[in-house]
Amino acid sequence: IAGITQAPTSQILAAGRRMTLRCTQDMRHNAMYWYRQDLGLGLRLIHYSNTAGTTGKGEVPDGYSVSRANTDDFPLTLASAVPSQTSVYFCASSAGSTSTDTQYFGPGTRLTVL
Amino acid sequence: GQNIDQPTEMTATEGAIVQINCTYQTSGFNGLFWYQQHAGEAPTFLSYNVLDGLEEKGRFSSFLSRSKGYSYLLLKELQMKDSASYLCAALDSNYQLIWGAGTKLIIKP
């Protein structure tokens, strides 16, 4: 069982380019999340999905979009990357969304926007 | 606003005990999580408290005081592999996690 996988592991991207970060889980979890982690700051929620077919905005959604076509996949798209989006991006999942279920994290994608 | 405060960095000696404190202010409260994150890796779950008191799990214990908005993580018999960042996160009334910036724990021989 892989848990949560993310791709790519790292990426250097020119400003203005479009980029999709991939996230797949095999735990049949209902809820999935995208966070960014920046030095000196806590994890910040970008978007979330409580169940397949639904998505919601987190604390810092601007410049990002997500989709949840099925239970397993939750891609994050940067339509036109900017240098302030340089960060480490973590995808996470939990069994439920309106509960105290533990969130499990993927290995992260390190993104640099130049 | 919602806020989580924890020390930026702490240093301790191998074999010793260390307590990492966390204070929180959230709109509603549904529990407090502690995660461990080694450098360059993903956060991994350590503990969850929703009731006041101490929860012990091997060398790690976590304490919560809801009335004081306070929690701590206690690590005993420190090992070099415990060198990591420890993240405190509170679950608010919307069941969203509010994360602290993390405490980097440095273990010295």
Q: What is the pLDDT of residue A98?
A: 66
What is the token pair recorded at B2? 């919602």
Q: Do A107 and B42 touch (CB under 8 A)?
A: yes
* CB proximity B20 to A under 8 Å: no
d(CA B46, CA A45): 20
Q: What pLDDT score does A87 carry?
A: 98
Is pLDDT of A1 > 60? Answer: no
Sheet holding B60-65, edge to edge: B3-5, B18-25, B70-75, B60-65, B53-57
Minimum-distance CB partner of B48 among A44, A102, A106: A102
pLDDT in tens, B52-101: 999 999 999 999 999 999 999 999 999 999 999 999 999 998 888 999 99
What are A34-45's pLDDT values in tens digits? 999 998 888 999
Q: According to the model, what pLDDT value does residue B54 have? A: 97
**Parallel, antiparallel, or unpaired: how do β-strands B70-75 and B18-25 relate?**
antiparallel
Taking only the tens place, the pLDDT of each residue in A61-102 is 999 999 999 999 999 999 999 999 999 999 999 998 766 788
At residue B95, the pLDDT reads: 84
Average pLDDT over residues B24-49: 95
Cβ count within 10 A of residue B98: 23
pLDDT of residue A40: 86
Helix-strand-coil percent breakdown of chain B, rounded to 5? 5, 55, 40
Q: Which amino acid is at A27?
A: M
Task: Write the CA distances from A100 to A15, B19, B31, B33, integer angstroms.
Answer: 38, 24, 7, 10
Q: B87: which chain A residues are within 8 Å (Cβ-Cβ)?
A: 42-43
Secondary structure class of B77 (helix, strand, coil): coil
Residues of A in contact with B9 (CB under 8 A): none
Q: Which residues of B touch A104 (CB under 8 A)?
A: 45
pLDDT at B94: 84
Quick check: B41 and A107 CB within 8 A?
Answer: yes
Backbone angles phi, psi at A12, to 5 degrees: -110, 130
